[in-house]
């Protein structure tokens, strides 16, 4: 017997746990910062509504209909399409390799906060702190390893227990602490520039690259395109209403991303950091915000603890895709599969961990390992996976079948017509256009052509 979520709430908690993570707190703010602020946010929202939510409905439906994890789900409907599941499994390996790197940074920052070492508002000090970590291979790998160990440990304990229960406390706490940071951040002198930067789009900044990054960010953030949601959906009971869930999760996820942007970017401008800082943005900026508020160090510790929790509920969902593939399709045992896959992912992550410091050489064209994994997952693999998902639902499984599955729990899918048009035409065309740009951009980066 396959495991089931103990309740619909269990699924909602786990799926939003997968969605809400470093993508919202760490990646969204720096992506927005690097891609023109408001222009990026606007495209992000547009893509979320028109592409992200329809795909979320598709992925959950596919999982629940087949009751199989991603590889088996595609295979059971059309064996020729099982490669999409395979692509998702590969993507899971690379994405977690890169994710665990950043997960490791979070653990390091948590440790440093506990030791009181983040107490400063000085951009240079905080910049150096991050820079020094990037140049300390032993620490980087140690914390990355610890992050993977915890991820493996949780996955080993199977689905639908402790973690879901813990997220009932952890996620609301994260929400509250972000609100507290926002209050401090937007009351800093000079923060208005940051708020405007985030919410007033400069239309001249909109171009194909910004669109590509915004779309990649949507997929990364709502965990679409590699089978996580299909796999999680497969544990759903036939009587659960999947429509509310499908829209609630992306909306909640986006709310957290916007709030994280609002916590970080106003402070970036007020305290003299650079919005285009890149992957270090959250780590460099937030300690300064904490240091300028009462009980700052306590909040700082709590914040990194909650970020770690959010990151883990995402990383377990990535590992779960690979593990369930080997357990269900290859009939391997769960424990050794988890351990072996976890170790392979750790090894795969080593070059990414080192590549913002000691190994900063370009491995392919203009890309170091970290950028390579990042681009390869968000812009190429997830976007390709999302494209194939929409083609699959729109043209292979057919929307009518999907609607039947959705309505089988006794609900009426009121927007079925709109959803059908989106999934068959608009979503594939929109993703297709951007995807071509992503491939060209990726090839150019590899060949070092600007
Ligand atoms: N959505 C997660 C985050 O925002 C990352 C993720 C991507 C998880 C793809 C699973 C699959 O942090």
**Mean pLDDT, all residues of the chain:** 92
Q: What is the mean pLDDT of residues 165-180?
A: 86
Using CA atoms, how far apart are residues 123 and 60, in angstroms rounded to an integer?
A: 44
Residue 129 CB–ligand 1 contact under 6 Å: no
Taking a C-beta distance cutoff of 8 angstroms, is the pair 3, 160 a contact? yes
Beta carbon of 246 within 6 Å of any ligand 1 atom? no
Dig out the tokens for 191 from the structure: 């923060």
pLDDT tens-digit profile of 56-93? 999 999 999 999 889 999 999 999 999 999 999 999 99
Nearest to 264 by CA among 182, 190, 188, 197: 182
Quote the pLDDT of residue 165. 73
Q: What's the pLDDT tens digit per position in 188-219?
A: 999 999 999 999 999 999 999 999 999 999 99
Ligand 1 binding pocket mutation candidate from 21, 217, 319 (most atoms within 8 A of CB):
21
Q: Which of 138, 130, 118, 157 is nearest to 312 (CA)?
A: 157
What pLDDT score was predicted for residue 163?
A: 67
Give a yes or no: residue 390 inside a domain: no
Residues 6+ apart with CB under 8 A from 16: 167, 171, 248, 249, 252, 253
Sequence-separated (6 or more) residues with CB below 8 Å from residue 193:
266, 269, 270
pLDDT higher than threshold 60 for residue 159 = no
Query: Which residue has tokens 């709109």?
Result: 418
Q: How far is the CA of 147 from the centre of ligand 1 (A)?
A: 15
Give the predicted TM-score (pTM) of the model.
0.93
pLDDT at position 364: 80
Q: Which residues contact 124 (CB under 8 A, 6 or more apart)?
A: none
Q: Judge whether 68 lies within some domain.
A: yes
On whether the CB atoms of residues 307 and 188 are closer than 8 A, the answer is: no
Is residue 370 included in any domain, yes or no? no
| Ligand 1 center–CA 410 separation, angstroms | 31
Regarding the beta carbon of 390 and ligand 1, being less than 6 Å apart is answered no
Mean pLDDT throughout 294-318? 92
Q: Is the CB of 377 under 6 A from ligand 1?
A: no
Is the beta carbon of 318 within 6 A of some atom in ligand 1?
yes
- Asked if residue 214 belongs to a domain, the reply is yes
Please check the confidence at residue 339 and state whether its pLDDT lies above 50.
yes
Give the C-alpha separation, 284 to 348, whole Å. Answer: 26
Would you tell me how many other CB atoms lie within 10 Å of the CB of residue 400?
A: 10
Largest CA distance in the chain: 60
Ligand 1 mean position, distance from CA 192 (Å): 30
Residue carrying the six token digits 């893509």: 47
- CATH code of 317's domain: 1.10.4160.10
Taken in order 199, 281, 247, 51, is the CA torsion positive or negative? Answer: positive
Measured from the Cα of 318, ligand 1's closest atom is 10
Average pLDDT for 137-160: 88
* pLDDT of res. 11: 81
Q: Is 375 part of a structural domain of the chain?
A: no
Please list the alpha-helical segments (H only) found in 67-136.
70-77, 82-114, 123-134
Range of the domain at 33: 8-354+398-419
Best of 27, 105, 155, 220 for a ligand 1 pocket test (most atoms within 8 Å of beta carbon) = 220
User: 23 CB less than 6 Å from ligand 1?
Assistant: yes
Per-residue model confidence as pLDDT tens digits over 10-44: 788 888 999 999 999 999 999 999 999 999 999 99
Specify the DSSP element, H or E, that contains 161: none
Helix (H, G, I), strand (E, B) or coil at 367: strand
According to DSSP, residue 364 is labeled B
> How many angstroms separate the CA atoms of 235 and 245, rounded?
14
Residue 35 lies in a domain: yes
- Asked if 11 contacts 245 with a C-beta cutoff of 8 angstroms, the reply is yes
Q: What is the pLDDT of residues 211-257, one digit of tens each?
A: 999 999 999 999 999 999 998 898 888 888 889 889 999 999 999 99
d(CA 170, CA 174): 6
- Amino acid 402: pLDDT: 96
Our answer on whether the CB atom of 223 is closer than 6 Å to any ligand 1 atom is yes
- The SS3 call for residue 379 is helix
Pick the range with the lowest mean pLDDT from 139-143, 303-307, 323-327: 323-327
pLDDT for res 1: 43
Report the number of distinct structural domains present in the chain: 1
Q: Tell whether 217 is covered by a domain.
A: yes
Domain membership of residue 269 (yes or no) is: yes
At 314, which helix (H) or strand (E)? helix 296-328
Q: CA-CA distances (angstroms) from residue 327 to 174, 217, 256, 340? A: 33, 30, 33, 12
Question: Tens of pLDDT along 390-416?
Answer: 999 999 999 999 999 999 988 999 999
Rounded Cα–Cα distance for residues 437 and 122 (Å):
39
pLDDT at res. 157:
78
Q: Is 228 in the pocket of ligand 1 (CB under 6 A)?
A: yes
């Amino acid at each position: 017997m396959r495991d089931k979520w103990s309740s619909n709430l269990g699924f909602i908690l786990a799926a939003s746990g997968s969605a809400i993570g470093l993508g919202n707190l760490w990646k969204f703010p720096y992506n927005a910062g690097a891609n023109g602020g408001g222009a990026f946010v606007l495209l992000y929202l547009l893509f979320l509504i028109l592409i992200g939510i329809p795909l979320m409905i598709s992925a959950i439906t596919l999982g629940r209909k087949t009751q199989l994890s991603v590889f088996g789900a595609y295979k059971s409907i059309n064996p020729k399409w099982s490669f999409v599941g395979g692509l998702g499994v590969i993507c899971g390996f690379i994405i977690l390799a890169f994710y665990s790197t950043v997960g490791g940074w979070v653990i390091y920052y948590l440790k440093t906060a506990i030791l009181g070492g983040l107490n400063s508002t000085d951009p240079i000090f905080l910049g150096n702190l991050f820079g020094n970590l990037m140049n300390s291979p032993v620490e980087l790998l140690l914390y990355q390893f610890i992050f993977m160990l915890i991820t493996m440990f949780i996955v080993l304990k199977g689905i639908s227990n402790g973690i879901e229960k813990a997220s009932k406390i952890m996620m609301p706490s994260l929400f509250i602490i972000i609100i507290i940071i926002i209050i401090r951040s937007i009351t800093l002198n000079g923060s208005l520039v940051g708020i405007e930067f985030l919410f007033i789009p400069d239309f001249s900044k909109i171009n194909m690259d910004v669109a590509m990054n915004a779309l990649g960010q949507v997929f990364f953030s709502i965990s679409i395109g590699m089978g996580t949601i299909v796999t999680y959906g497969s544990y759903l009971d036939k009587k659960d209403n999947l429509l509310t869930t499908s829209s609630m999760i992306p909306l909640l996820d986006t709310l957290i991303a916007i709030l994280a942007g609002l916590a970080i970017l106003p402070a970036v401008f007020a305290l003299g950091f650079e919005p285009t800082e890149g992957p270090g943005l959250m780590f460099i900026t937030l300690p300064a915000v904490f240091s300028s508020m009462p009980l700052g160090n306590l909040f700082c510790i709590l914040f990194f603890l909650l970020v770690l929790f959010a990151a883990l509920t995402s990383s377990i969902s990535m590992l779960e895709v690979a593990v369930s593939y080997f357990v269900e399709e290859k009939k391997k045992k769960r424990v050794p599969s988890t351990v072996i896959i976890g170790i392979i992912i750790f090894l795969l992550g080593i070059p990414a961990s080192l590549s913002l410091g000691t190994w900063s050489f370009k491995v392919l064209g203009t890309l170091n390992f970290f950028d390579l994994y990042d681009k390869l997952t968000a812009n190429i693999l997830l976007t390709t996976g999302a494209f194939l998902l929409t083609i699959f639902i729109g043209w292979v499984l057919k929307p009518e079948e999907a609607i039947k599955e959705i309505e089988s729990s006794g609900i009426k899918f009121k927007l079925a017509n709109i959803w059908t048009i989106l999934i068959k035409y608009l979503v594939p065309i929109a993703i297709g256009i951007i995807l071509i740009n992503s491939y060209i951009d990726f090839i150019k980066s590899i060949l070092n052509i600007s």
